Amino acid sequence: MRQENFNDEVLIVSKVSAVESTTLPPQGAPASGRSWRRLRLLFIITFAGVLLSGCTLPNFGVTKGVTKSSVNVYHLWQWFSVGAVVIGLLVVLLLAYAFLRYRRKDDKAIPKQSQYHIPLEIIYTVVPIIIVVVLFIGTLIVENPEVSNPRTDVVVNVNAFQWGWKFAYPGHSVVVIGQTTQNPTMVVPVDTNVHINLTSTDVVHGFYVKEFNFSRYALPGVTNQFTFNAVKTGIYAGQCTQLCGLYHSVMFFRVKVVNQATYDQWLVANRNVSAAAAAASATALQNNTYVPSKPTNSKVN
């Protein structure tokens, strides 16, 4: 019963220029003080060198992904994992030694009642602080470019709703709408900064593409902005990660990364599809799945 609506793979491409004509401009990275910037550059070069030399380390379960940021995230993951494995092994070995060496042999024996060892306690307070600071610096180096929004001309307005996705290309009069297992596909060019304005019509959704090593909430009343730069062409699965009601489990989408020429052709080819027909089938689909009517959100668009 519940899956009967998901059988047809329908991709609706339509011209809805009136609704999608406005968009937030991408923001440039904020400027900071010059000396601080120079110092920061030094830090970044040092730590980035160390970070990126992690190529020979095991992957610890994570892939490099297909964006510029996802590779950095992968290396950060490796270094966190090195720390976790070293500390974890240290603790487990100490425990194993204690279990074997200090196992009770005699019911009546009473060991020496020592309670403090100040130098040792200072060491295992200070060393973790240093480790934490290093991890934090690594975090900042990966995080700052990842959450910055460099200027770009490729903008996609992504709108999540119960239960599907709408990808609008402002200025191109192209809109892709699809529900749940229809896998609506967002087409973007390779090696280009793609700026996303992420919104939600109803409840909180999660925009998550595994191969991007990234996710972001779609919040009602907020336009969330982020930028990614895919370096590999291909089709990548995405889905909603934040519980959003009944059909949360099947709120799928795809990101198709193509080369610039294909992208331009795709934009043109999908420009002139009848808006009316698309809107009608979109409405029909909405009525097939039970979607409660929502008050119009004046803040979003």
Partner 1 sequence: MSHTITAPETSHESHDEHHGPSGLLKWLTTTDHKIIGLSYTITAVVMLVIGGALAELIRAQLVTSNGHLVSFAQYNELFTMHGSIMIYLFAGPFAFGALANIIVPIQIGAPDMAFPRLNALSYWLYLTGSITMLLGFFTAGGAANFGWVGYAPLTSSLNAPGAGADLWIGGLMLTGFSAIFTGVNLVATIFYLRAPGMTMFRMPIFTWNLLVTAILILLAFPVLTAGLIMLYADRHFGTHIFSVAGGGVPVLWQHIFWFWGHPEVYILALPFFGMATEIIAVFSKKPVFGYKGMIFATISIAALSLGVWAHHMFTTGVVLLPFFSIMSLLIAVPTGIKIFNWIGTMWRGEIWFSTAMLMAIGFLITFLIGGLTGIYLASPPLDFFTHDTYFVVAHFHSVVMALVLAGMGGLYYWGPKITGYLLNERIGKAQFWFLFIGTQVFTFPQYILGLQGMPRRMAIYPQHPEWANLNALSSLGALLIGVSTVLFVVNIIVSWKKYPAGDNPWDAQTLEWFTTSPPPHHNFYRLPQIRSERPTWDHNHPEHKAIAHGHHEE
225-284 positions binding partner 1, by CB under 8 A: 225-226, 237, 239-250, 252
The residue range among 7-15, 85-93, 166-174, 279-287 that interacts with partner 1, by the rule CB under 8 A, is: 85-93
Q: What minimum distance in Å lies between the beta carbon of 273 and partner 1?
A: 27
Within positions 139 to 158, which residues make up the interface with partner 1, using CB under 8 A?
Answer: 139-140, 142-143, 146-147
Q: Is 120 helix (H, G, I), strand (E, B) or coil?
A: helix
Using CB under 8 A as the binding rule, whether residue 213 contacts partner 1 is answered as yes
Using CB under 8 A as the binding rule, whether residue 58 contacts partner 1 is answered as no
Alpha carbon of 231 to those of 76, 209, 236, 258: distances in Å?
19, 14, 12, 10
Sequence letter at residue 137: I
Among 50, 48, 73, CA closest to 60: 73
The residue range among 42-50, 209-217, 227-235, 277-285 that interacts with partner 1, by the rule CB under 8 A, is: 209-217
> What radius of gyration, in Å, describes the C-alpha atoms of the chain?
26
Q: What minimum distance in Å lies between the beta carbon of 287 and partner 1?
A: 18
Within positions 89 to 128, which residues make up the interface with partner 1, using CB under 8 A?
Answer: 91-92, 94-95, 98-99, 102-106, 109-118, 120-121, 124-125, 128
The greatest distance separating any two alpha carbons of the chain, rounded to the nearest whole angstrom, comes to 90
Tell me whether residue 235 or residue 268 sits nearer to partner 1 (CB atom): 235
The neighbouring-strand residues paired with 207 are 216, 240
Using CB under 8 A as the binding rule, whether residue 222 contacts partner 1 is answered as yes
Within positions 168 to 187, which residues make up the interface with partner 1, using CB under 8 A?
Answer: 181
CA atoms within 13 A on the CB side of 177: 19
The residue range among 34-42, 65-73, 165-173, 274-282 that interacts with partner 1, by the rule CB under 8 A, is: 65-73
Q: What minimum distance in Å lies between the beta carbon of 32 and partner 1?
A: 13
Work out which of 42, 55, 87, 268 binds partner 1, going by CB under 8 A.
87
Q: What minimum distance in Å lies between the beta carbon of 271 and partner 1?
A: 30
3's CB contacts (< 8 A; 6+ apart) are 250
Among 22, 33, 11, 7, CA closest to 170: 22
Q: Is 125 helix (H, G, I), strand (E, B) or coil?
A: helix
Tell me whether residue 34 or residue 108 sits nearer to partner 1 (CB atom): 108
Q: Are 173 and 17 in contact (CB under 8 A)?
A: yes
Using CB under 8 A as the binding rule, whether residue 18 contacts partner 1 is answered as no
Work out which of 12, 175, 203, 255 binds partner 1, going by CB under 8 A.
203
Q: Is 173 helix (H, G, I), strand (E, B) or coil?
A: coil
Tell me whether residue 10 or residue 147 sits nearer to partner 1 (CB atom): 147
Q: Are 202 and 293 in contact (CB under 8 A)?
A: no
> What is the rounded distance in angstroms from the CA atom of residue 84 to the CA atom of residue 82?
5
